[in-house]
């Protein structure tokens, strides 16, 4: 017997989980997603979220409240009479009255190995910190930020040159797989949870907060350690994107850095020291593997260098 599942999500990351729930035969009385946002060059066109687009294609009802502060929104949610709500990157605060409305509460798909990396940017912060492993967890939501007990865990290895965008795709697929299993166990009455305090003690993972990435973090300081710089570039790719100023035709241009690796090398920090766009850092060097010039498309560094040499001795900077 299928469950009645309200789905709540917004970005493309959430879509595979919604599709998997429907494919598994569960009934979805409504899909909640954030309202359409202004987009386009002039910011005049309203663009629906990827979840709204997917839900419409599946023939599902879509609701887009600005918040759940109004009692009427909470009442409308509760009136669905759902067995459970599944939340994957929804982006709105859920009050306790919302969390308590479904029969089995709300399950959240979270992209880290809790209690490590609670917060807004767990995937990016895991790469930036140099974590060897990450994963998806299905937890029961409670009032605290990502503090609820965990029911299922899926672990994956982070490749040293993997970008946040690539890791998000893998975790998105894993989220879909885990949530289907979680709903099967919930329906069978076999789904159990482990308190995060106990989980952290058992695994040795200490709570860390994955704060939102700010624009002030995105310029590269080449005086830093090469390993840290390469991790930051990969962690911030494709969005918001780490960047540096680089001269082309005698004019400094802001270049978005999309993939990098730390390599041996010495030289003045910020100086190109190789024909393959290797840049000296405070300790070691970073080889840029892909980038995006202002107004251009992402490209491999080898493609850029075929038409636009960046010779050794070129100076890159934050401004």
Asked if pLDDT for residue 310 goes beyond 90, the answer is yes
pLDDT at residue 318, as a whole number: 83
pLDDT digits (tens, 9 = 90+) for 48-92: 999 999 999 999 999 999 999 999 999 999 999 999 999 999 999
Instruction: Report, as an integer, the average pLDDT of 123-152.
Output: 96
Last residue of a domain, one of 183, 210, 237: 210
Residue 238 lies inside a defined structural domain of this protein: yes
Asked if pLDDT for residue 115 goes beyond 90, the answer is yes
- Banded pLDDT at 143 (limits 50, 70, 90): confident
pLDDT at residue 271, as a whole number: 97
Is 107 marked as a binding-site residue?
no
Residue 313 lies inside a defined structural domain of this protein: no
Based on the domain organization, do 224 and 206 belong to the same domain? no
Distances (CA, A) of 279 to 6, 250, 270, 297: 50, 18, 6, 22
Helices (H), the chain: 15-23, 50-57, 71-78, 96-99, 122-129, 164-188, 196-203, 226-235, 301-307
Is 67 marked as a binding-site residue?
no
For residue 277, the enclosing domain spans 215-307
Based on the domain organization, do 237 and 204 belong to the same domain? no
Based on the domain organization, do 161 and 292 belong to the same domain? no
pLDDT at residue 40, as a whole number: 61
Is 114 marked as a binding-site residue?
yes
pLDDT digits (tens, 9 = 90+) for 195-227: 999 999 999 999 999 999 999 999 999 999 999
Based on the domain organization, do 187 and 257 belong to the same domain? no
Residue 241 lies inside a defined structural domain of this protein: yes
Radius of gyration over every alpha carbon of the chain, rounded to an integer in angstroms? 22
Q: Which residue has the higher pLDDT, 18 or 318?
A: 18
pLDDT at residue 144, as a whole number: 85
User: Looking at the 3D structure of the chain, how many domains does it have?
Assistant: 2
pLDDT at residue 207, as a whole number: 94
pTM, entire model: 0.94
CATH classification at residue 289: 3.10.25.10
Lowest-pLDDT choice from 38-52, 97-111, 135-149 = 38-52
Is 113 marked as a binding-site residue?
yes
As a whole number, the mean pLDDT across the chain is 96
Residue 38 lies inside a defined structural domain of this protein: yes
The sign of the dihedral angle between the CA atoms of 261, 267, 271, 276 is negative
For residue 15, the SS3 value is helix
pLDDT at residue 38, as a whole number: 79
Q: How far apart are CA 234 and CA 288, in angstroms?
A: 10
Residue 200 lies inside a defined structural domain of this protein: yes
Asked if pLDDT for residue 123 goes beyond 80, the answer is yes
Based on the domain organization, do 115 and 222 belong to the same domain? no
Q: How far apart are CA 205 and CA 117, in angstroms?
A: 10
Based on the domain organization, do 191 and 269 belong to the same domain? no
Last residue of a domain, one of 210, 231, 251: 210
pLDDT at residue 41, as a whole number: 61
Residue 312 lies inside a defined structural domain of this protein: no
Based on the domain organization, do 25 and 146 belong to the same domain? yes
Based on the domain organization, do 242 and 119 belong to the same domain? no
Last residue of a domain, one of 181, 210, 239: 210
Asked if pLDDT for residue 231 goes beyond 90, the answer is yes
Based on the domain organization, do 201 and 231 belong to the same domain? no
pLDDT digits (tens, 9 = 90+) for 258-272: 999 999 999 999 999
- Banded pLDDT at 160 (limits 50, 70, 90): very high
Based on the domain organization, do 224 and 287 belong to the same domain? yes
CATH classification at residue 160: 3.40.50.170
pLDDT at residue 43, as a whole number: 62
Based on the domain organization, do 134 and 95 belong to the same domain? yes
Residue 319 lies inside a defined structural domain of this protein: no
pLDDT at residue 37, as a whole number: 86
Based on the domain organization, do 226 and 196 belong to the same domain? no
């Amino acid at each position: 017997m299928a469950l009645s599942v309200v789905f709540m999500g917004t970005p493309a990351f959430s879509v595979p989980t919604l599709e998997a729930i429907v494919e598994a035969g569960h009934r979805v009385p409504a899909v909640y997603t954030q309202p359409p946002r202004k987009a386009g060059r002039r910011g005049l066109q309203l663009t629906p979220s990827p979840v709204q687009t997917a839900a419409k294609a599946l023939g599902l009802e879509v609701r887009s409240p600005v918040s759940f502060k109004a009692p009427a929104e909470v009442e409308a949610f509760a009136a669905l009479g759902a067995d459970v709500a599944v939340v994957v990157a929804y982006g709105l605060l859920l009050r306790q009255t919302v969390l308590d409305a479904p029969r089995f509460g709300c399950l959240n798909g979270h992209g880290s190995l809790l209690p490590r990396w609670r917060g807004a940017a767990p995937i990016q912060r895991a790469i930036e910190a140099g974590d060897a492993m990450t994963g998806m967890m299905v937890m029961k939501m409670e009032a605290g930020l990502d503090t609820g007990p965990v029911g299922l865990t899926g672990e994956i290895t982070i490749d040293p040159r993997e970008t946040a965008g690539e890791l998000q795709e893998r975790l998105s697929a894993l989220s879909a797989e885990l949530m289907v299993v979680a709903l099967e166990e919930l329906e069978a009455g076999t789904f159990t949870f482990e308190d995060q305090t106990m989980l952290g003690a058992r695994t040795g993972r200490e709570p860390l907060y994955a704060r939102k990435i700010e624009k002030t973090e995105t310029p590269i300081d080449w005086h830093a350690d090469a390993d840290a710089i390469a991790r930051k570039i990969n962690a911030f790719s494709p969005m918001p994107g780490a960047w540096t100023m680089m001269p082309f035709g005698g004019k400094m241009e802001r270049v978005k850095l999309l993939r990098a690796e730390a390599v041996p090398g010495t030289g003045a920090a910020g100086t190109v020291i190789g024909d393959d766009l290797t840049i000296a850092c405070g300790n070691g060097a970073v080889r840029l593997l892909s980038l995006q010039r202002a107004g251009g498309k992402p490209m491999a560094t080898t493609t850029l260098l075929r038409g636009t040499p960046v010779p050794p001795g070129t100076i890159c900077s934050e401004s």
